[in-house]
Amino acid sequence: MKKRVSFVLALLVMLAAGCGRAAATRYQAQFLQLFDTVTTIVGYADTEAQFREISDQIRKQLEQYHQLYDIYHDYEGVNNIKTINDNAGIAPVAVDQRIIDLLLFARDIHGQTGGKVNVAMGSVLSLWHDYREAGTEDPAEAELPPMELLQGAAGHTSIEAVLIDEEASTVYLTDPAMSLDVGAMAKGYAVEQIARQLESEGVQSLLLSVGGNVRAIGGKILNQDNQEFYWTIGIQNPDKTSDQAELFALMIEGLSVVSSGVYERYYTVNDIRYHHIIDPETLMPAGRFAQVTLICPDSGLADALSTYIFSLPAEEGQRLIESMDGVEACWVDSEGTVLYSSGFQDYIKEK
């Protein structure tokens, strides 16, 4: 469902400086399909039953968010984003509050990014999706969506046509030719909401990775010897020809790490790769970077920002990140040159 499984965030959970943890045992759960990706949960608990209770809770919540934010499938008894799209220009749709909250968040992000991150771009993104799917299934016949079709679809992407009635809990697309695509933020937003609920319930140490959208709850734990560790996240090297599988590893606690890259979801036309991250100005795949990685307290914001700065010139993206408290970024351009925001390298684990 999400716009990308565009990178593999190698998930390494280890104790810094080789310390151990005597008070509890490390457990891991993993499951597939939700948000069309792999979910990994890592945590420490006194018993496996305690950990399973938390991981089962997370799975159930993720399944609910997955169904609500899905743009491709119907679910019995659920009005989701697809239901809203199916009723564009027809009637308002009564929806769960979690859809209202996501779309209000999306409206705010739209304003902050000058429309660069726009959930109302479904008409354009669906064209790319269909051509990419067809080209993947039959590479010999792969082709680009015609620019005239893309430009026509771009005429139906106004966020103002998304009417949200908070009191009635309804959403209505007034333009019958438009559709929503929440892929730029839905997965990160769902991860953040689940993490916040777990924190409110007293969970102090857990790592949640949904297709590479990583959110740490806590992280620095003291054991009986007063040693400490951080969650350590390996960031994949976008250069598939390199012998170095990872660019570096990040040490985090209570933060989110999200990457956007060009090397997972793409197809080839005339020996040229076309990835899935579409620049709303050119209506073509953004071509400046191979990968962008964000460190941010909020996984939903990190998800949206990673998409946003992927389409911005490096200097403009740097100015934006430097203006935001608690947010750091790393850019890798098509030549492999790495650029960091001022505080990003403070999180890199020394080899």
What DSSP string runs through 6-64? -----EE---GGG---SSSEEEEEEE-SGGGS-EEEEEEESSHHHHHHHHHHHHHHHHH
Residues with Cβ within 8 Å of 292's Cβ and at least 6 positions away in sequence, in order, are 259, 260, 261, 306, 309, 310, 317, 329, 330, 331, 332
Which range among 155-164, 234-243, 254-263 shows the weakest confidence by mean pLDDT? 234-243
Report domain extents, the chain.
11-45+185-347
Q: Residue 246 above 60 pLDDT?
A: yes
Which residue has better confidence, 244 or 125?
A: 125
Residue 272, strand partner residues: 269
Helix (H) or strand (E) segment spanning residue 284:
none
Q: For residues 80 and 99, give the distance between their C-alpha atoms in angstroms, rounded to a whole number.
A: 8
pTM score, whole prediction: 0.88
Question: Each residue of 136-176: pLDDT tens digit?
Answer: 999 999 999 999 999 999 999 999 999 999 999 999 999 99
What pLDDT sits at residue 139?
94
Closest among 261, 82, 107, 262 to 179, alpha carbons compared: 82
Q: Which residue bears the tokens 């005597």?
A: 22
Mean pLDDT computed over 338-342:
96
Which range among 51-65, 174-188, 210-224, 238-252 shows the weakest confidence by mean pLDDT? 210-224
Strands 289-296 and 256-261 turn out to be antiparallel
Which residue has better confidence, 111 or 205?
A: 111
What pLDDT sits at residue 296?
97
Residues with Cβ within 8 Å of 7's Cβ and at least 6 positions away in sequence, in order, are 212, 236, 238, 259, 260, 261, 263, 264, 291
At CA 5, angle to CA 44 and CA 188, rounded to 5? 55
**What number does CATH give the domain 11-45+185-347?**
3.10.520.10
What pLDDT sits at residue 226?
47
Q: Which sign does the torsion angle of CA 187, 168, 159, 314 carry?
A: negative
The model's confidence at residue 1, banded by pLDDT at 50, 70 and 90, is very low
The pair of structure tokens assigned to 305 is 């920002």
Question: Each residue of 80-94: pLDDT tens digit?
Answer: 999 999 999 999 999
Q: For residues 131 and 129, give the distance between their C-alpha atoms in angstroms, rounded to a whole number.
A: 6
Rg, the chain, Cα only = 20
